[in-house]
C-alpha cells in the first residue's frame, strides 16, 4: 500500500489552467498509476466504512472514478450525481452558484431510500459549492448525509470548513496550499 505522501507526489500540478492564476491539481497521473489508484481507493474507503456508509454518491465526472471504486471496495451501491439532462428519468435538481454564473446537479430520487446513510466522494474540494449542493440534493431525496471524503483539499478556498459548518464530517487524503 502506498502512503498518502507517495500518492501526493503522483498528483500533477498544471499552472494557469483553466485560467490564469489557477493551479490545476490533475489526478490523471494518479489514476494512471495502478498501485497509486488502488492505494488511493483504500485510503478513501476507510473513513466511509467507519461512517457506516450504505451507499456512495459521486459527482460527475471525476467523482465517478473514486466514488464507484470506493463503493465496490465496500460492497455497496453507487449513486451518480449528474450534470443536467443526462438521466433518462424524472429527476430532482439543484442550482448552485459558481464564481461566474451557475451550475446544476441532478439525481434520480428513486436511487435513494429514506434515511439511507449516503457518503459523498469526489476528487477535490475547492470552494465546497459542488459538494454542498450535492449534500443538499441527496438530503432532499431522503438520504442521511453526514460524511464527505476527498482525495484533495484546497483549504485556502474554505470548502471543507463550509461543509463542516453544514454538519458534515470531512476527510481528505492530502492538501495543497493556494488555489
What is the pairing mode between strands 55-59 and 144-153?
Answer: unpaired
Grid cell locating 101:
454564473
- Report the nearest approach of ligand AMP to the CB of residue 132 (Å): 8
Helix or strand (DSSP H, E) at 22 = none
Q: Which is nearer to ligand AMP, 37 or 131 (CB)?
A: 131
| HSE-CB of 41 using CA atoms within 13 angstroms | 19
C-beta separation of 129 from 102 below 8 A:
no
Residues binding ligand AMP (CB under 6 A): 22-25, 62, 122-131, 154, 159
- Report the nearest approach of ligand AMP to the CB of residue 55 (Å): 19
- Report the nearest approach of ligand AMP to the CB of residue 76 (Å): 22
- The whole-angstrom separation of Cα 172 and Cα 179 is 16
Catalytic residue numbers? 62, 99
Q: Which is nearer to ligand AMP, 61 or 110 (CB)?
A: 61
Q: Which is nearer to ligand AMP, 30 or 112 (CB)?
A: 30
Amino acid at each position: 500500500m502506498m502512503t498518502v505522501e507517495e500518492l501526493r507526489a503522483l498528483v500533477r500540478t498544471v499552472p494557469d489552467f483553466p485560467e490564469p492564476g489557477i493551479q490545476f491539481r490533475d489526478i490523471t497521473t494518479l489514476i494512471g498509476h495502478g498501485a497509486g489508484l488502488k492505494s488511493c481507493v483504500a485510503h478513501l474507503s476507510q473513513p466511509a466504512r467507519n461512517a457506516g456508509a450504505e451507499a456512495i454518491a459521486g459527482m460527475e465526472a471525476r467523482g465517478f472514478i473514486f466514488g464507484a471504486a470506493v463503493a465496490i471496495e465496500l460492497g455497496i451501491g453507487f449513486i451518480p450525481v449528474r450534470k443536467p439532462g443526462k438521466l433518462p428519468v424524472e429527476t430532482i435538481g439543484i442550482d448552485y452558484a459558481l464564481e461566474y454564473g451557475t451550475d446544476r446537479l441532478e439525481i434520480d430520487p428513486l436511487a435513494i431510500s429514506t434515511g439511507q446513510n449516503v457518503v459523498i466522494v469526489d476528487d477535490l474540494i475547492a470552494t465546497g459549492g459542488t459538494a454542498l449542493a450535492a449534500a443538499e440534493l441527496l438530503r432532499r431525496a431522503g438520504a442521511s448525509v453526514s460524511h464527505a471524503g476527498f482525495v484533495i483539499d484546497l483549504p485556502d478556498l474554505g470548502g471543507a470548513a463550509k461543509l463542516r459548518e453544514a454538519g458534515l464530517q470531512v476527510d481528505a487524503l492530502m492538501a495543497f496550499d493556494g488555489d
